[in-house]
Amino acid sequence: MAGYQDETRAAYDGVVELYASMYADRLETQPFARNMIGTFAELVRGTGNPRTADAGCGPGHLTALLRDLGLDAFGVDLSPGMVAHARRAHPALRFAVARMEELPVADGVLGGVLAHYSMIHTPPGDLQELLAEQFRVLAPGGLLLASFFATDSPEPLRFDHKVAPAYSWPADRFSALLAAAGLVPFARLLHDPASERGFLDAHVLARRP
């Protein structure tokens, strides 16, 4: 496992209860993110294939939201501590410890993948591999919703996230990487930041042809 993944896993294992308490109802104050997830769920339902991975699910709160929005959702996360919490908090749902680069599903079986700020810890040089994995697991017509911190800088910027080192991305560069992975970006929302960092919040919807 890459060094940054060891660091990220250990960091999230160390803040499970605090993180879960901080983020359980965060979407109540984030209408843009909430509505993008709702749009994503509606489009996934429209494919006729509701099976959806919450990739980097953390404590499982968004996995539960996807279920409430009519999807057959399951969660995966690098952190065993986060997965253990998710299983306790949402015993009716399925969760697994897994890397986002090696999702525990067969090729072309998912109607959707949600990556809600879960790609932010991946170094720029490794992001293409991660996106290729999302392409692999999506069925034709399947959808990816990726949310991340956006920057006006022409290059990705490393910053000190409160849990582990992370990266903000120029939205155009991120969309270009999606296209290089074989996905077709078709909707994008950028809005003012919800935190003191000053980065824009970005949400990009892409489809596997």
* CATH (domain of 80): 3.40.50.150
Does residue 175 form part of some domain? no
Between 207 and 4, whose confidence is greater? 207
Measured between alpha carbons, how far is 80 from 97 in angstroms, rounded to an integer?
A: 6
- Nearest alpha-carbon partner for 83 in 12, 6, 164: 12
Maximum separation of any 2 CA atoms in the chain, in Å: 44
- Per residue in 142-169, pLDDT (tens digit) is 999 999 999 989 999 999 888 888 999 9
Which domain range does residue 124 map to?
Answer: 3-23+31-166+192-207
Q: Which residues of 136-152 are buried (b: 16+ CB within 10 A; e: fewer)?
A: bbbbeebbbbbbbbbbe
- Nearest alpha-carbon partner for 162 in 32, 28, 56, 15: 15
Total domain count for the chain? 1
| Order of strands across the sheet that contains 51-55 | 94-97, 72-77, 51-55, 110-116, 138-150, 200-207, 184-191
The answer to whether the predicted template modeling score (pTM) of the entire model surpasses 0.85 is: yes
Per DSSP, the chain holds a count of helices (H) and strands (E) of 7, 9
What's the whole-number mean pLDDT along residues 107-112?
Answer: 98
Does residue 182 form part of some domain? no
Does residue 127 form part of some domain? yes
pLDDT at 195 over 70: no
Does residue 108 form part of some domain? yes
Tokens (6 digits) for 166: 């992370």
